[in-house]
Structure 1
């Protein structure tokens, strides 16, 4: 640890004192980060737990937790102290904050829905069952079906409070899914007897009060409900954007797919959403997104979702670095287990493997802990546009950067509210992980995570199409990139690919090392990674339980050299990336592990993180002391 103090303590103290001095607002109550009472956090200073007024003006102890996904009625959570330093994460969806609330931990934004009500928990629960794939769908029973349809009926009639109403986006997602199931799914996941009965009994009343676009989604050809409504067959949409969606939906809801050019044109026409002033129907777009996912995307469709907005802000900026690794994992974050990529990036950057992270602050359905929330908690600037991030990548004292989708792809970010109301993940949830916001002059690699079996192949193909020289798709904990050191029980049931499954490609190796020549063929591989092959003993999985503070503190403690499960995971994930991507200096797993450990124990990884927190806030164009 002497080396750590020799290189890192001055920066640590300066950062600690600066950060702690800002946390003196009168609303702050000092508590130890992980568990009641006061005390120092793992970085050597106290973090506050804020007492926050909820929407009902009752005082709530938010304890640094992020709220559950999309189930309505969540209380507005963490605020920041009057000094402006963020301390804890918000528990609420951004859309639930009232006008007189203080700024929440999640970035304030304008709600991009035409219909600003709900979402209804009753509908969300139903969507979780029926807005999914042909084998995962769980049909509603009779009581559930009547409850859902009556909620829709009461919402359309204006008989429910705004917070309990089913939004048009929810109605669109629900009826679009029901139609797709009726038309295309197998008997087991088609309509149940209860669903059929509820629809038959309530359809006449629904026809009297539902908007035309929702009636179209419920019976587009007038065949599902026995021809009792002629709205569907005649419906073409009220705007040019809606007309494109209607055309696409007539294909998707009958099991057909769109060509890449057709989908690209549609996406370019409807995005970014403009909220109440826009011309895109919430119901139609929600139905299109969820039905496309339920049907399963083709490679052509994934291409369109992935690359349509590549030059939304102009040409992609280029960083002059010898290597650049892009990290892509679920934008909706982690709710249970330690998320390691932010700290892995600092480790790898400290020995010259430049890393680019991307994501958002808050995203449904999980609404979990994200890199952006942790960086904001630590005091970094999370509003960098890609060309501003280039400076940090080229800075030898930093070597990594984070870019928010909000800044890099505003068109895709405009879908956040819609995604909350459709409950399940749309196709964009897969493709946003395979973004190349910045190019590098040197060797490039890309990591992307997956959870559901069947996506690993298409995801790896998207990585290849990005033009990088090496790539990995990983099934880590919670479907993220974090490979685990936990030993799997021999009795554990494995659903789909096992945890720690990795597939990838890298430049062909030669007897003298990695062949750096251009045009060389790739070496392809798949494996189930065992941490013991990297000299790391099995250990339990650190839990964060939705706490931004816990995750950030675990990671910072590890970067300060504190040994334990978080340290082991950071070392493992850095070493695996280095070795499997074919990086220089990582010819074997054990060599890669020793390099990662040395980066932490020497203090260089911590310095990279502290420098990022500091220099990310410097005005654009400011020269950095360690940029050649």
Structure 2
């Protein structure tokens, strides 16, 4: 398919794909060809908006959590295959000072089939079958403040396409759009953070975030295209293009609810974060090499105060994201980083993490 689709055409095609229960192999081949063609030709903004519209509100309007601030984390659904994945632990840290976080994803996703938040939570015994209403309750719990939703429960039609995605061996357009979702809304400020790898996707992702009407949006070129910024030095022979730790986004100064924001007063920014500028010693990123238990071991040790590369990455990603999103008491980067360190060193962050595992299993 060489000609871009209009927003209406793209919506109709993708809506038909999502609503179809037909497993006819010839139709699956046509759908595969369509999705591959969309990615090869690079999806237009109109097409990306249409994909979001097609799977929005599949289970009805999202519930609204009574929280002051909510960050939606859009990690790549296909996980990490090499490096420590920190976002789950960052969410526990940020919840200690009132910055609630909603994570979403799957257990396993092609093409990488790497470590995901769902794998880690399952390994530790958490309930990963929550629905959006249950996630809302966990977000509102003053002893928790973060939650995880599986695509299996939140977007069943998208989840049903995993087999097809494995067959086509490429990331389809929905690998971009599924990262920019609001499965639960907030009465207070909302932000979306998403990871990216290939240059050129940062602006489409930010466009989708603006369309969502959030106060702040941020894209991060972390390691492996994930959200985790690193403390390692950039190699002298690093490839051309945007460096790892490149961040681009927008933020709003208004304190109105995200349900009311009009997007007029947003401030855009971009920065390549150099951790050394903020007092971090350069260190290589811990390797996990698809080991869920190793990733958990590193994360929990850091949450319990063990200093080292994993600890530094959790602090860096918590404090820097607070700062870039314009969160309360985070205008000064070093103050934001100190607040993240205090959440860990005081013992509050690991307690929140364990509380989440227990509370998720009490949900019926």
User: What range is the shorter-chain TM-score in?
Assistant: over 0.9
When residues 366 and 273 of structure 1 are mapped into structure 2, their CA distance, relative to the original with a 3 A threshold, is farther
Measure the CA separation in 2 of the matches of 1:435 and 1:302.
Answer: 12
Measure the CA separation in 2 of the matches of 1:279 and 1:301.
Answer: 25
User: What is the Cα deviation at residue 273 of structure 1?
Assistant: 5.0
Measure the CA separation in 1 of the matches of 2:103 and 2:278.
Answer: 24
Please tell me whether residue 370 in structure 1 is matched to residue 116 in structure 2: yes
Of 294, 297, 312, which residue of structure 2 is paired with 1:568? 312
Residue number in structure 2 paired with 1:262: 9
When residues 607 and 347 of structure 1 are mapped into structure 2, their CA distance, relative to the original with a 3 A threshold, is same
Please tell me whether residue 533 in structure 1 is matched to residue 280 in structure 2: no
Measure the CA separation in 2 of the matches of 1:560 and 1:599.
Answer: 10
Residue number in structure 1 paired with 2:237: 492
Aligned partner of residue 232 in structure 2, secondary structure: coil
1:397-440 Cα distance to aligned partner (Å, 9 max, x none): 00000001111111111110011110111111111100110100
Measure the CA separation in 2 of the matches of 1:371 and 1:493.
Answer: 29
1:576-622 Cα distance to aligned partner (Å, 9 max, x none): 111111111112111011000000011111111101000001134xx
User: What is the Cα deviation at residue 495 of structure 1?
Assistant: 3.6
User: What is the Cα deviation at residue 338 of structure 1?
Assistant: 0.3
Aligned partner of residue 244 in structure 2, secondary structure: coil
1:474-519 Cα distance to aligned partner (Å, 9 max, x none): 1000000000000112x223243111100011124xxxxxx53665
Measure the CA separation in 2 of the matches of 1:400 and 1:587.
Answer: 23
| More contact order relative to length (CA 8 Å, sep ≥ 6) | 2
Please tell me whether residue 549 in structure 1 is matched to residue 293 in structure 2: yes
TM-score (norm 1): 0.56
CA RMSD of aligned residues (A): 1.4
Measure the CA separation in 2 of the matches of 1:488 and 1:308.
Answer: 40
Please tell me whether residue 559 in structure 1 is matched to residue 319 in structure 2: no
1:250-285 Cα distance to aligned partner (Å, 9 max, x none): xx1xx1011111121122222245364x58711101
Aligned partner of residue 197 in structure 2, secondary structure: coil
Of 235, 245, 248, which residue of structure 2 is paired with 1:503? 248
Measure the CA separation in 2 of the matches of 1:619 and 1:397.
Answer: 15
TM-score (norm 2): 0.96
Q: Which structure 2 residues correspond to residues 375-386 of structure 1 after superposition, within 5 A?
A: 375-386=121-132
Residue number in structure 2 paired with 1:599: 343
User: What is the Cα deviation at residue 523 of structure 1?
Assistant: 1.2
Residue number in structure 2 paired with 1:577: 321
Aligned partner of residue 526 in structure 1, secondary structure: strand
1:46-97 Cα distance to aligned partner (Å, 9 max, x none): xxxxxxxxxxxxxxxxxxxxxxxxxxxxxxxxxxxxxxxxxxxxxxxxxxxx
When residues 495 and 282 of structure 1 are mapped into structure 2, their CA distance, relative to the original with a 3 A threshold, is farther
Please tell me whether residue 407 in structure 1 is matched to residue 153 in structure 2: yes
Residue number in structure 1 paired with 2:139: 393
Q: Does the CA-based 8 Å contact 1:408-1:437 persist in structure 2?
A: yes
Of 324, 327, 330, which residue of structure 2 is paired with 1:586? 330
Residue number in structure 2 paired with 1:624: none
Residue number in structure 1 paired with 2:210: 464
1:96-134 Cα distance to aligned partner (Å, 9 max, x none): xxxxxxxxxxxxxxxxxxxxxxxxxxxxxxxxxxxxxxx
Q: Which structure 2 residues correspond to residues 222-241 of structure 1 after superposition, within 5 A?
A: none
Give structure 2 stretches of 5+ with no counterpart.
Answer: none
Q: Which structure 2 residues correspond to residues 132-531 of structure 1 after superposition, within 5 A?
A: 252=1, 255-272=2-19, 274=21, 276=23, 281-489=27-235, 491-508=236-253, 515-516=254-255, 521-531=265-275
From the CA coordinates, give the structure whose radius of gyration is larger: 1
User: What is the Cα deviation at residue 356 of structure 1?
Assistant: 0.3
Kindly tell me the number of residue pairs found equivalent between the two proteins.
Answer: 359
Runs of 4+ with >6 A deviation: none
Measure the CA separation in 2 of the matches of 1:591 and 1:557.
Answer: 23
Measure the CA separation in 2 of the matches of 1:516 and 1:442.
Answer: 8
1:206-229 Cα distance to aligned partner (Å, 9 max, x none): xxxxxxxxxxxxxxxxxxxxxxxx
Give structure 1 stretches of 5+ with no counterpart.
Answer: 1-251, 509-514, 621-628
Measure the CA separation in 1 of the matches of 2:19 and 2:129.
Answer: 19
Measure the CA separation in 1 of the matches of 2:20 and 2:124.
Answer: 31
When residues 271 and 503 of structure 1 are mapped into structure 2, their CA distance, relative to the original with a 3 A threshold, is same
User: What is the Cα deviation at residue 573 of structure 1?
Assistant: 0.1
Measure the CA separation in 1 of the matches of 2:218 and 2:16.
Answer: 33
1:227-252 Cα distance to aligned partner (Å, 9 max, x none): xxxxxxxxxxxxxxxxxxxxxxxxx1
1:350-395 Cα distance to aligned partner (Å, 9 max, x none): 1100000000000000000000000000110001011110010000
Aligned partner of residue 55 in structure 2, secondary structure: coil
Measure the CA separation in 2 of the matches of 1:567 and 1:273.
Answer: 46
Aligned partner of residue 61 in structure 2, secondary structure: coil
Measure the CA separation in 2 of the matches of 1:566 and 1:307.
Answer: 38
